[in-house]
Amino acid sequence: MTTQIQARDLSKRFERHTRRAGMVGAMRGLFDRASETVTAVDAVSFDVARGEIVGYIGPNGAGKSTTIKMLTGVLTPSSGEATVAGFTPWSERRKLAQQIGVVFGQRTQLWWDLPLIESLELLQHVYRVPEQRFRENFTMAAELLELGSFLNTPVRQLSLGQRMRGDLAAALLHDPQVLYLDEPTIGLDLVAKTNIREFLAHLNREAGVTILLTTHDLADIERLCKRIIVIDHGHIVHDGDLARLRDKIATERTMTVDFDDPPTLDDQLETRGMRLLDQTGQRVRVAFERSRLTAPDVLTALTEYGSIRDMSIEEPSIESIIQHIYKA
């Protein structure tokens, strides 16, 4: 298993000039400017193996974009080291650029004034992609991302979702080994989101592209990532398997049961390790610790209160898991 992205104690501090309030403050600002240091990323370390898809998540201002900018080489860290595809990003930026693809959901990499197709053709020359290879990649992207209807539209006239698909196509024409995606589904409708997720999954599966993905849409994570890294206030607060995280944090499951007739429940439930959430007519919802009880245990216990028509089990939502981490 080769390591494709390696970050060691990466930190980035920004000087921020603060403006003092009011007239007097503004006058003072002419002579001595007040400034404070913001630590956007604080000693972040992780490894990403070739072919992995890692979700890099955290609340607003956590330091996700800043980390990605350092790993692409456009920002020089205040301290720490990193290697991406064998290069030190900020000192070998141009060499690394040939090996990576980047999509910043918030801004485009395409030329505003050019029709999408011309932007893509220009990129062929930027990355010196052989004609044959370019045609193959272009055809694949155009098909999977359904670019056909707006290839000849200038980029400035594209809708957000169209532009994002264009940007994705642009990011992989040169067969990058690593793909950084900073909020690639921001502001898109469900169809476009699904489309993009399937495309990324395809790319990872077929071409073995390593993907580091930030998003606030946890459905992206559930569809694409086995592993997530959670960052908050510049610190990594969790790094690991999504399933194991669920086991570790979200220990409580919920079972919903429909009885034939409204049952009369008693406090026996509590002593057996179940917690009654609510009861409406025939429908009863109980919560239980997955470490203490299995679903059949719970079901058996409940049959004592009447015959059961239907039941379902809910795993804790990924949102609640993430919230749990942020709060910790």
Partner 1 sequence: MRLYLELARTSFQQQFAYRAATLAGLFTNSIFGVMIASIFIAFYRSQGNDTVASWTPDQTVTLIWINQSLLMTVFIWGWWEVTRSIQSGAIVSELLKPFDYFSYWLSRDLGRAVAHFLLRGIPTFTVGAIFFDLLRPAGVAAAFGFLGSVTLAVMISFCLRFLSNLAGFWVLDHRGVSMMYVAIFNFFSGMLAPLDFLPDTVQTIARFLPFQAVLMVPNEIYLGRMPIWQGLGVQAIWIVLLTLLVKRILRAGEQKLVVQGG
Ligand X SMILES: Nc1ncnc2c1ncn2[C@@H]1O[C@H](COP(=O)(O)OP(=O)(O)OP(=O)(O)O)[C@@H](O)[C@H]1O
Q: Shortest distance, CB of residue 65 to partner 1, whole angstroms?
A: 6
Select the span of 28-36, 58-66, 115-123, 285-293 touching Mg ion (CB under 5 A). 58-66
Nearer CB in complex with ligand X: 64/227: 64
72 near partner 1 (CB under 8 A)? yes
User: d(Cα 142, Cα 148) in Å, to the nearest integer?
Assistant: 6
Nearer CB in complex with ligand X: 52/183: 183
DSSP 43-84: EEEEEEETT-EEEEE-STTSSHHHHHHHHHTSS--SEEEEEE
Select the span of 123-131, 144-152, 158-166, 191-199 touching partner 1 (CB under 8 A). 123-131
26-37: string of b/e by CB count within 10 Å (b at 16+)?
eeeeeeeeeeee
The listed partner (Mg ion, ligand X, partner 1, none) that binds 97, CB under 5 to 8 Å by sort, is partner 1
Please identify which residue in the block is written with the tokens 């790319």.
203
User: d(Cα 224, Cα 301) in Å, to the nearest integer?
Assistant: 38
Q: Shortest distance, CB of residue 318 to ligand X, whole angstroms?
A: 17
Nearer CB in complex with Mg ion: 62/209: 62
Q: How many residues are given for the chain?
A: 328
User: d(Cα 121, Cα 129) in Å, to the nearest integer?
Assistant: 10
Q: Shortest distance, CB of residue 64 to Mg ion, whole angstroms?
A: 5
106 near partner 1 (CB under 8 A)? yes
DSSP assigned state of 92: S
The listed partner (ligand X, Mg ion, partner 1, none) that binds 38, CB under 5 to 8 Å by sort, is ligand X
Work out which of 11, 54, 63, 302 binds ligand X, going by CB under 6 A.
63
User: d(Cα 313, Cα 293) in Å, to the nearest integer?
Assistant: 13
User: d(Cα 92, Cα 98) in Å, to the nearest integer?
Assistant: 11
- State phi, psi for 30 to the nearest 5 degrees: -65, -30
Select the span of 20-28, 43-51, 95-103, 259-267 touching partner 1 (CB under 8 A). 95-103
Select the span of 22-30, 55-63, 108-116, 135-143 touching ligand X (CB under 6 A). 55-63
40 near ligand X (CB under 6 A)? yes
The listed partner (partner 1, Mg ion, ligand X, none) that binds 246, CB under 5 to 8 Å by sort, is none
DSSP 144-177: HTT-GGGTTSBGGGS-HHHHHHHHHHHHHTT--S
102 near partner 1 (CB under 8 A)? yes
Work out which of 108, 137, 162, 210 binds partner 1, going by CB under 8 A.
108
User: d(Cα 216, Cα 223) in Å, to the nearest integer?
Assistant: 13
Binding residues with ligand X: total (CB under 6 A): 12
Work out which of 65, 108, 177, 215 binds Mg ion, going by CB under 5 A.
65
- Contacts with Mg ion by CB under 5 A lie at 65
- Contacts with ligand X by CB under 6 A lie at 14, 16, 38, 40, 58, 60-66
